[in-house]
Each structure stands twice: as C-alpha cells, then as structure tokens.
C-alpha cells in the first residue's frame, strides 16, 4: 500500500503501553500534545517476586484510550498520518496464532520466577557467550527465560510451538499483531535486543541461545528498524487504514524523544523503573561493571548502540507507598512530604522489591530499610524512598562515565517522577551535574511518534525534530562535597545490607 500524505494528516498517534497503564497521545508537528488518554490495568502477583499482566486487558485498555484520545478532539483516521508504538520491554507474551488468544498471562519484566534458569545457564558456561552476543548480563529480567518457562509449564505448549502454532512477542509485537488482525508478526531492533536471544552485532536471532532454551525459531517475529512501515491498522478498528510506522522499547524511545542522537548524550527516565541510557554511536561498548549494551532506536538499518543502566524500582516505590502502605493518597503528595523535613533523619530505603538491577544484578536482594530511630516520621520515610531514585541513578552514571571515557556534565530527564522538583534538585546535588527537564516530559511517547513521523515524511529528518526540543527547567547542584559524600556513604552501607539479606 502506498503512503499518501495530505493536509488532512494533522497528527501522529503514539501508543505508549507501559507497565502499569496504557496511554494514547496525539502529537502535532511541533511535538505538542494535542490529546491524551490513560488507563491503568491490573498488576497480578501470583507468588512473591512473580509479576504478570493479562495480555487481553493490555489490548483492551490500549484500544480504550485510543478511542478516548481521538474522540476528545474529534479526530478520525484521515487525521492520523501514522501510528507509533512504545512499550514496556522484556515482558513476554505467547499466543496461539489460530485463535489469537494468549496461552498464559504475560510475564512482566520485573518477574523473578526464572532466576534458577539463569543460574543454570551460568553453570553451563553460557554467561560470557550471552554477554558478548546480546550485550546483556544474563538475568531473569529478559525475555528468553520467561518464554522458556511458559513452554515448560503450560500443558501442550512445546508440542504446539514445534508445530508452528504458537507465536512469541514482546508487547509491541502483540499490539501490532492485533492492530493488523494477525497479518504482521514483527518487532524492532530495540525490543529484540532486550530478549537475550538477539545477536546485536549481526542483527539476527542467535541460534545457539534459542537452541539452549529449546525455543523453536518459528515462534520468533521478524526484526526491522525502529522507524519503518510495518503494516497498516485493520480498517474496522479506526474507520481507516493507518500506517504503523514506528516501534521502540520505552527507554530507547525516550532516548530518541530527548533528541540524544549523538554519541555521549545521556537521558534518564523516571517511570515504574528508572533507566539511564547513553548513546555510544556506532560503537557497541562492552561493560565490565554491570551495564548493558543495547541497540538505540533509529530510522534505518544504520544501527546505533547505547549503554544502559536498569533500575527495577523507581516510581513503583511511590506507588507502593500509595497503594500498599497507604502512606500517600496521591503520588504528587510525596514532594510535599519530602520538603516538610530537612533530611531523612538517617533513614535509607533500598527498594529491591524484585531484586537489584544494575550494577548489582542480584535477583535475590529484597527491599531494605535501615537507620530507623524513634524520631523517624512518615515524612522522613517518604523522602527516603524519593532519594533512593537519585542514589540508584548515581551508581549507574559514575560507571557509565568511567566505561565510556566521557565526562557527563548534564543529564536530560523525563518520565512521571521527573515532574517532582524536589527529586530533580536532589538528583542534581547527588550527581553534581546539571539536570535538564524538557517542556514535554512525555518523551517516551514522543520518541515513538518521531520514529513513525519520519518514516512517513511527516517530519523530514532528525534535524527537523531537534528544533522541537526545549528546556522547561534546569536544576543546578547546590550541595557541598562533604555533605554529598556523607550521604553517598550511607547509601552504600544500606545497599550492602540489602545484598547481605540475599546471601542469608
């Protein structure tokens, strides 16, 4: 089908399928939000450390917010130049191609149920091979062991998979398959690079790894660049065929949305987790200290790479205070509580609810609170949870500087928690660098929109979209070195306690 651009194409539609909610945002040529809708969906915890989603609820919630977003401004399919998708990465869906129904719940990136699979892989001498081939530290975080678990534990799954009846996908693949009514089974380089099955150097599924996990290659989607036309929405969904022209894992989409196109540029996204990415250009930098080498989002086959530090719990810590602990009524209250006290009264919270990610990679660590005295109040506790995001970011940024050989004088930030001025100022103080918050902090969705828009000519090129990026606030460090070092020393002791629990 030939793509036709007309004056009627007012918007780019971005589907932002996250860990706790689905969103739809319509952007204009200036990168401004014209309409937005969001819907949370259920988090399923079958056992401690296990996390699941219902793939049908993901699909239903995503369609619901599309309907809401377009109806708010009276848009139609003719108004949409293209559709881009960004998604929670690593989350694993397996479905029957004949029925379109999942054979099991989606196993979420946070889920630790396959830690034993990874231990076995290491014992079998595969660790170095996996690291060099995929750029990843072997961990239950990634899709490969999750997929193997589903095949091992759902009755008849291995037989159906071998017969070619089952399909695997990360959430982008699941959405595209449904948007095209089963016509297109595809993923992009960024999502493929997070499965722990993809050779990031030769840009193909790695036969040795998929054979190790006994995964039939016929299950795996075709892999394409992040910005290209994958297919078209089925006509009945939106009353017209819209090009699906962009897809990227949420963190790579945010890197693109922040216009970090050049080697050495860095962004941090404060979402459910926290993810620090540095563009390393056409060089795949191999980390020796727990960072990941991954593929950055791009609009063609000329692949760029990134160094990444993954923090499993960031905004999820604030949600925990709100939903499970009932300490907060709203997430926004956290800033008010944090500002009501001068410090944390010596309290540190290490939010290792599902283990510790970079640079520790310990799936058995658990949440730890240290330094509590009789004088600890709710406000001190809330502030300590907020500060933990900044400390975890520090751990990664310093390693990133050392391994890349690049001094990082500024950090671009985005994501929901980046709206918290207290947190951003504390982040600047702890890092001793300027923190730059753009006018549009929805850079994950914006990145997907940019990828799709460039693919269909809505925007000309990267220089065209770079003009849209604008700073809203800059936070400058305002903490003496001695105070910074004292705080960081306390954090290091707290992390040692969390790791010691894992060893008990």
The answer to whether the beta carbons of residues 189 and 253 sit under 8 Å apart is no
Is 251 labelled as part of a ligand binding site?
yes
Is 97 labelled as part of a ligand binding site?
no
Instruction: Kindly write down the DSSP assignment for every residue of 209-262, as one continuous string.
Output: HHHHTT--GGGSPEEE-SEEEEEE--HHHHTS--EEEEEEEHHHHHHHHTT--S
Q: How many residues does the chain have?
A: 504
Is 319 labelled as part of a ligand binding site?
yes
For the record, the structure tokens of 435 come out as 């923190």
250: closest CA among 219, 217, 273? 273
Which bin fits 345, alpha (ψ -120 to 50), beta or left (φ > 0)?
Answer: left
Is 90 labelled as part of a ligand binding site?
yes
For the record, the structure tokens of 117 come out as 């699979």
Is 2 labelled as part of a ligand binding site?
no
The answer to whether the beta carbons of residues 325 and 384 sit under 8 Å apart is no
**Residues pairing with 24 in the sheet:** 15, 37
Measured over the CA atoms of residue 483, residue 484, residue 489 and residue 492, the dihedral's sign is: positive
Is 252 labelled as part of a ligand binding site?
no
For the record, the structure tokens of 92 come out as 């694993």
H-state helical runs in 405-480: 421-431, 443-455, 462-466
Is 88 labelled as part of a ligand binding site?
no
Coil vs helix vs strand at 141: coil
Residue 404 and residue 421: Cα distance in Å, rounded?
Answer: 29
- Three-class secondary structure assignment of 64-98: HHHHHHHHHCCCCHHHEEEEEEEECCCCEEEEECC
The answer to whether the beta carbons of residues 137 and 290 sit under 8 Å apart is yes
Is 141 labelled as part of a ligand binding site?
yes
Is 23 labelled as part of a ligand binding site?
yes
Show binding-site residues.
19-21, 23, 89-90, 141, 250-251, 272, 315, 319, 416, 420
Show binding-site residues for glycerol.
89-90, 141, 250-251
Show binding-site residues for sn-glycerol 3-phosphate.
19, 89-90, 141, 250
Show binding-site residues for ADP.
19, 23, 272, 315, 416, 420
Show binding-site residues for ATP.
19-21, 272, 315, 319, 416
């Amino acid at each position: 089908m030939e793509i036709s651009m007309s004056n009627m194409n007012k918007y780019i539609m971005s589907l932002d399928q996250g860990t706790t909610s689905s969103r739809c945002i319509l952007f204009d040529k200036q990168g401004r939000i014209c309409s937005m809708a969001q819907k949370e969906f259920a988090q399923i915890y079958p056992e401690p450390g296990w996390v699941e989603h219902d793939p049908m609820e993901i699909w239903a919630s995503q369609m619901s917010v599309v309907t809401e977003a377009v109806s708010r401004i009276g848009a139609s399919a003719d108004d949409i130049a293209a559709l881009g998708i960004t998604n929670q990465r690593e989350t694993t869906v397996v479905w029957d191609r004949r029925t379109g129904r999942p054979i099991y719940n989606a196993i979420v990136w946070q889920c630790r149920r396959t830690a034993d699979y990874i231990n076995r892989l290491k014992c079998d001498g595969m660790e170095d091979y996996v690291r060099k081939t995929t750029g990843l530290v072997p961990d239950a975080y990634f899709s490969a062991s999750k997929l193997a678990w589903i095949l091992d534990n759902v009755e008849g799954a291995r037989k159906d998979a071998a017969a070619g009846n089952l399909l695997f996908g990360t959430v982008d693949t699941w959405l595209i398959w449904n948007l095209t009514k089963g016509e297109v089974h595809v993923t992009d380089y960024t999502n493929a690079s997070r499965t722990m099955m993809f050779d990031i150097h030769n840009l193909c599924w790695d036969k040795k790894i998929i054979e190790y996990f006994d995964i039939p290659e016929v299950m795996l989607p075709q892999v394409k660049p992040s910005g290209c036309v994958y297919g078209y929405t089925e006509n009945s969904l939106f009353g017209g065929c819209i090009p699906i022209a962009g897809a990227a894992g949420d963190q790579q989409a945010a890197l693109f949305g922040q216009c970090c196109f050049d080697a050495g540029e860095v962004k941090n996204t404060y979402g459910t987790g926290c993810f620090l990415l540095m563009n390393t250009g056409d060089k795949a930098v191999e980390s020796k200290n727990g960072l990941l080498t991954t593929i950055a989002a791009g609009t063609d086959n000329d692949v760029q790479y990134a160094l990444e530090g993954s923090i499993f719990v960031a905004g999820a810590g604030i949600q925990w205070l709100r939903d499970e602990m009932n300490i907060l009524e709203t997430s926004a209250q956290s800033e008010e509580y944090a500002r009501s006290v001068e410090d944390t009264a010596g309290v540190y919270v290490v939010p290792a609810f599902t283990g510790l990610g970079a640079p520790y990679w310990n799936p058995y660590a658990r949440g730890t609170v240290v330094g509590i005295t009789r004088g600890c109040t709710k406000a001190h506790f809330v502030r300590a949870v907020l500060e933990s995001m900044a400390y975890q970011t520090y751990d990664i940024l310093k390693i990133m500087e050392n391994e890349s050989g690049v001094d990082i004088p500024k950090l671009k930030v985005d994501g929901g928690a980046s709206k918290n001025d207290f947190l951003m100022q504390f982040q600047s103080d702890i890092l001793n660098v300027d923190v730059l918050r753009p006018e549009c902090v929805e850079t994950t969705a914006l990145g997907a929109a940019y990828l799709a828009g460039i693919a269909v000519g809505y925007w000309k090129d990267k220089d065209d979209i770079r003009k849209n990026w604008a700073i809203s606030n800059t936070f400058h460090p305002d903490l003496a070195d001695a105070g910074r070092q004292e705080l960081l020393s306390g954090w290091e002791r707290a992390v040692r306690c969390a790791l010691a629990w894992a060893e008990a």
